[in-house]
């Protein structure tokens, strides 16, 4: 009985994931995580453009919650949307991008080589892109593009390699796209740092370095305040010196005027006495 329950739950998850991908096919959805909790079903959608999933004012999310309740009879579905910061290392996003390019009649080899370079530039250990279908003729064929180191069998192939697929629908017929990206090497303990982990580590480093930066900023502010205080004191001293010099100059002018006036009075007195003697 338990096996039937697990099989039924797995079928529900697959059908739910397919339905979400069809509804949000323009948003380039990556992984979809579905978790059953006592409070309800939590659905985490990883996408490149969260705005297309959420909609204006959250309208699309509300509509999707109502549809999930009606079609899948889910109790209290909670949808969480998260943005993919580095889409070049997400196999589902890469597969959807290749499928969109093939629908626009872009050359297969050009597209495959371009995205292989982008994946390796993003920091992957190895990758493989397989494109199969009618690629330019009546007969179907496969094109394979590889780079780096990629495990294909055993437990490391399950643990270290992430997979994604998409389907292009051009006029000649459907074309399948499969993308395999090796993000870690468990044998050699090599792990590709995902952007989210890098951001977390950078935030930690910034938090650790913040006190030192604040101390340096405080020291710089103290130095600036001291220099400003010194400059203000120097300007005050200069102003006081200028005022004292001006006061001394005015006092000297006053003494000179008094001397000149007294000498003029003495001359007048002497001249008046001479006139009286005559």
Contact 116, 108 (CB under 8 A): no
What is the pLDDT at residue 174?
93
For the chain, how long is the longest CA-to-CA vector?
Answer: 155
Question: Domain map of the chain by residue range?
Answer: 2-85, 89-192
State residue 222's pLDDT score. 73
- What pLDDT is recorded for position 32? 92
Q: How many CB atoms lie within 10 A of CB 81?
A: 21
Same fold, 2-85 and 89-192: no
The CATH fold of domain 89-192? Ribosomal protein S3 C-terminal domain (3.30.1140)
Q: How many CB atoms lie within 10 A of CB 14?
A: 11
The pLDDT value recorded for residue 273 is: 54
What gap in Å lies between CA 14 and CA 171, rounded to an integer? 28
Alpha carbon dihedral 213, 218, 221, 223, in 10-degree steps, equals -100
Is residue 79 within 8 A of residue 43, CB to CB? The reply is yes
**2-85 CATH fold:** GMP Synthetase; Chain A, domain 3 (3.30.300)
Q: In whole angstroms, what separates CA 165 from the centre of its chain?
A: 27
**CA dist., res. 130 & res. 165, Å (int):** 9
* b/e burial code for range 51-61 (CB count within 10 A of at least 16 → b): ebbbeeeeebb
pLDDT for residue 147: 95
Residue 278 has a pLDDT of 47
Residues of the chain with pLDDT under 70: 1, 189-218, 220, 223-224, 254-278
Summarised one tens digit per residue, pLDDT across range 192-203 is: 655 555 555 565
Predicted pLDDT at 214: 62
pLDDT of residue 19: 92
Per-residue H/E/C for the chain: CHHHHHHHHHHHHHHHHHHHHHHCHHHCEEEEEEEEECCEEEEEEEECCHHHHHCHHHHHHHHHHHHHHHHCCCCCEEEEEEECCCHHHCHHHHHHHHHHHHHCCCCHHHHHHHHHHHHHHCCCCEEEEEEEECCCCCCCEEEEEEEECCCCCCHHHHHCEEEEEEEECCCCCCEEEEEEEECEECCCCEECCCHHHHHHHHHHHHHHHHHHHHHHHHHHHHHHHHHHHHHHHHHHHHHHHHHHHHHHHHHHHHHHHHHHHHHHHHHHHHHHHHHHHC
Burial of 42 (C-beta count, 10 Å sphere; 0-12/13-18/19+): middle
């Amino acid at each position: 009985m338990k096996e039937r329950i697990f099989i039924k739950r797995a079928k529900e998850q697959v059908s739910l994931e397919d339905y979400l991908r069809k509804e949000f096919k323009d948003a380039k959805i990556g992984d979809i995580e579905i978790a059953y909790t006592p409070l309800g079903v939590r659905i985490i959608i990883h996408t490149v453009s969260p705005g297309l999933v959420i909609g204006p004012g959250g309208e699309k999310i509300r509509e999707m919650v109502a549809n999930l309740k009606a079609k899948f009879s889910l109790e209290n579905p909670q949808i969480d949307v998260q943005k993919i910061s580095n889409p070049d290392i997400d196999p589902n996003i890469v597969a959807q991008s290749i499928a969109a390019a093939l629908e626009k009649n872009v050359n297969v080899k050009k597209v495959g080589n371009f995205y292989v370079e982008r994946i390796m530039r993003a920091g992957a250990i190895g990758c493989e892109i397989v494109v199969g279908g009618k690629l330019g003729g009546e007969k179907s064929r496969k094109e394979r593009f590889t780079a780096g180191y990629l495990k294909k069998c055993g437990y490391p192939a399950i643990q270290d390699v992430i997979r994604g697929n998409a389907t292009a629908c051009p006029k000649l017929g459907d074309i399948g796209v499969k993308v395999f990206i090796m993000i870690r090497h468990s044998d050699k303990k090599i792990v590709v740092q995902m952007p989210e982990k890098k951001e977390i580590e950078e935030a930690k480093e910034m938090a650790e370095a913040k006190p030192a930066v604040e101390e340096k900023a405080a020291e710089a502010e103290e130095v600036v305040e001291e220099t400003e205080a010194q400059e203000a004191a120097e300007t005050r001293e200069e102003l006081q010196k200028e005022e004292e010099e001006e006061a001394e100059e005015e006092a000297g002018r006053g003494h000179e005027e008094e001397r000149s006036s007294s000498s003029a009075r003495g001359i007048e007195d002497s001249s008046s006495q001479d006139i009286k003697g005559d």
